[in-house]
Each structure stands twice: as structure tokens, then as C-alpha cells.
Amino acid sequence: MEFESFFEAGCGFGWNVKRVKQEFPEIRVGGIDFSLPQLRNSRKYLPGIHMDCIQSDACMMPLMDDAFDVGFSLGVFMNIHPEKIDSAIDEMCRVCAKYVMHIEWDQENSTPGLRKKRIFKTNIISHNYRSIYEARGKKIIDFQTYKDFGGAFWKRHGSITEGRLWRHHEGPEKYVLVIVEI
């Protein structure tokens, strides 16, 4: 997978963008987020890293067509209402020239215990990314669940005690990884 530019939909203060920039220092990075305070915080969190960032909604991105090679979201699209998810996906397809990657909530690919614990979170919505992209004629080049990456997650975070995790009952089983070729 070759790319020269990367952006995050819902970049917040730039945590993921910083990690990408550390791994791929030569690429151009950018992000959108609806939170202006988060974008302001990115200036402090990303000293020495230029990130083009725009206050925006994922359903109407003020970016040119094919503005970035790769688009990414982590736990953002699960907050988009089902009536608006098509607009957000269409925008990702429009602004990304090569690939879209999502790490998002998918209740169909989580554990029964986690689904039961998350029932109270009425703002969290599971979308079937595979079918949404396939309906647009896009190719899913990778689809992974916690069964695929859970071991690596716990190996990396093994030194973190349960009490220090943000949500001790939500580990890798919360997410799926979807990589789409545009």
C-alpha cells in the first residue's frame, strides 16, 4: 500500500496523525474535526508537525476530490446517525484517492458480553461497512475483527492494568478494521 498523504476524519487533537507522521515522516497529513477546541489543542500536541486541519462535519467535508491518498477514522463513524452514514461514506470516497480505513464499532463482530454492556449507549451506532462500501462498488481489501488483532492488542497493552484502561470492559472486541480500495 503506497501513499503520499493521509487524513483523519475526526482527528481531534491529532493523536493518530502524530503516530502516522512518526512512521511515515515524509507524507502530508491532515484532519477534520467538528471540535474547534480539539483542533486548537493539536497545535500544542503536534509541535513541529504541520497538519492541515479544518473544522468540519464528516458528512460534508470542505476538501477537494482526491485530496488525500488515505482517509482514516477511529471510533467516529459509530457516532453518525444511520440517516447520515451514506453522506459520510460518500465523502470519504470522494476525498480519498486510494484507500479508506475504518476502526469502528461493529456489534455483529463483537462479543455478546460487550453488546450487553453497551446497550445503554444509545448514541453509538453499528454500521455494516462491508455492505455500505460494496453497494458503492468498492473493494474491501481487508476486514478484521478482534479475533484477528486481539492478541496483538493485549500483547501491546499487557502492562496496563484493568483499572487504568479508559473503559475496562472495552478492549479490542469493540472494533473492526476495514480497509477499502477506492
| pLDDT at 154 (0 to 100) | 80
| pLDDT at 172 (0 to 100) | 86
pLDDT, one tens digit for every residue, the chain (182 residues): 899 999 999 999 999 999 999 999 999 999 999 999 999 999 999 999 999 999 999 999 999 999 999 999 999 999 999 999 999 999 999 999 999 999 999 989 988 888 887 766 677 899 999 999 999 999 999 999 999 998 888 887 765 555 555 555 567 888 999 999 99
| pLDDT at 130 (0 to 100) | 94
Are 147 and 124 within 8 A, CB to CB? no
Q: Give the chain's radius of gyration (CA, Å).
A: 16
**Number of structural domains the chain divides into:** 1
| Range of the structural domain that residue 77 is part of | 5-181
| pLDDT at 161 (0 to 100) | 54
**Phi, psi dihedrals of residue 105, rounded to the nearest 5°:** -65, 135
Whole-angstrom distance, CA of residue 96 vs CA of residue 74 = 16
CA distances from 76 to 14, 79, 144 (A): 14, 6, 18
3-state secondary structure of 70: strand
| pLDDT at 117 (0 to 100) | 78
CATH number for the domain harbouring residue 167: 3.40.50.150
**Phi, psi dihedrals of residue 150, rounded to the nearest 5°:** -60, -40
| pLDDT at 165 (0 to 100) | 53
Can you list the positions of beta strands (E) in the chain?
Answer: 5-9, 28-33, 51-55, 68-74, 96-105, 139-145, 175-181
Whole-angstrom distance, CA of residue 1 vs CA of residue 49 = 23
| pLDDT at 65 (0 to 100) | 98
| pLDDT at 156 (0 to 100) | 75
Instruction: HSE, CB side, 13 Å, CA atoms: give it for residue 89.
Output: 25
